[in-house]
Structure 1
Amino acid sequence: MQKIRFLGAVALGACLTCASAAAAFPEKQITLVVPTAAGGANDAMARVVGQAMSAILKQPVIVDNKAGANGAIASEYVMRAAPDGYTLMLGYIATHAMNPALQKLRYDPVKDFEPVGMLGSSATVMVVNPSVKAASAKELV
Structure 2
Amino acid sequence: MTEGIENLIYDAARKEQDFEAFIGRIKSKRFTRTRIQRMLTHIFTGFTWEKLKSFKQPSYLRLLGMTDSGRQYLHAQKKNISLPVISRAADLADNSMGKLDIHASSLYQLGLGSSNHKKEFTTPPIYFG
TM range (shorter): under 0.3
TM-score, normalized by length of structure 1? 0.25
Bigger Cα Rg: 2
TM-score, normalized by length of structure 2? 0.27
